[in-house]
Amino acid sequence: MVKRLNFEFYNNHALEVAPLLLGKILVRRFDDGKEIRLRITETEAYCGESDTACHAKAGRTNRTKPLYDKGGTVYVYLCYGIHNLINVVTGEKDDPQAVLIRGVEGFSGPGRLTRALSIDRSFNEDDFSTSHRIWIEDDGFVPKYKTTPRIGIDYATEPYKSAPWRFVLEGEAEK
C-alpha cells in the first residue's frame, strides 16, 4: 500500500518527522511524465530560531521565509555557490523548522541528490503535499536508523552543535 505523505504528516515537529522520512520514497516527476523514485537514507532536523545551526537563527529574511510557511513546504537554497539543498518544512506555520534531505539510495550527499533529480531553486515554496513534480510516498517500509550530530555546522554553538539530530538509515555508509 503506497500512499503519498500529506499535510498531516508534515505538520509535526522536525525531530519527529526526520526519522520517519527515512525509508520513504522521494518522487520526482518530469514534464515528459517520467518519474524517478529514490528511497531516502539520510536526514537532518533543523529546529527553529533558537537552534544556532538553523538558517532561521537570524530570524525571518527573504531567504529563510519558506521556513516560516506551513508543514510540507519545499525549501531549496544554494549552498557554497554550487549545490542546491532541499528541505521539507515541518511544524506549524510561523514555526521555522525543516528537515534536510541529505541522502537517497544511490546518492550520498545533499548536493548530489538534487543534481541527480534536477532540483533547483525554482522548487522553492512548492508544496510536497500537492506538487505535481515533487512529493514523497510511504510504501510501508519501517526504518531502522541511528543518530549522529549534524554535518557541516561547526559555526553552531552548544548544545545544538552536538545534538544528535542527524538520522541515518541502518546499513548506510557512515562518515
Partner DNA sequence: AAAGTGATCATG
Partner DNA sequence: ATGATCACTTTG
Contacting residues toward DNA, per CB under 7 A = 44, 46, 53-55, 58, 61-64, 67, 75, 77-83, 85, 87, 98, 100, 109-113, 121, 151-153, 155
Distance set, CA 106 to CA 20, 38, 56, 129 (Å):
19, 8, 30, 24
In the bound state with DNA, the residue whose beta carbon lies nearer, of 33 and 81, is 81
Q: Nearest approach, Cβ of 9 to DNA (angstroms)?
A: 18
40: nearest Cα among 131, 136, 130, 119: 136
Residue 111 vs 143, nearer CB to DNA:
111
Decide whether 32 or 172 has the Cβ nearer to DNA: 172
Of 149, 167, 175, give the one whose Cα is nearest residue 20: 167
Instruction: Tell me how far, at minimum, the Cβ of 40 lies from DNA, in Å.
Output: 14
- Find residue 88's DSSP bridge partners: 74, 99
CB of 117 to DNA, least distance (A): 12
Nearest approach, Cβ of 126 to DNA (angstroms)? 15
Which is closer to DNA, CB of 15 or CB of 67? 67
For the bound state, the minimum distance from the C-beta of residue 83 to DNA, rounded and expressed in Å, comes to: 5
Which alpha helices (H) appear in the chain, and where do they start and end?
Answer: 7-10, 14-21, 110-116
Please give the radius of gyration of the chain, using alpha carbons only, rounded to the nearest integer: 15
Cell of 173: 555508509
Q: Which is closer to DNA, CB of 85 or CB of 144?
A: 85
Contacts of 168 (CB under 8 A, 6+ apart): 22, 41, 42, 103, 145, 146, 147, 148, 174
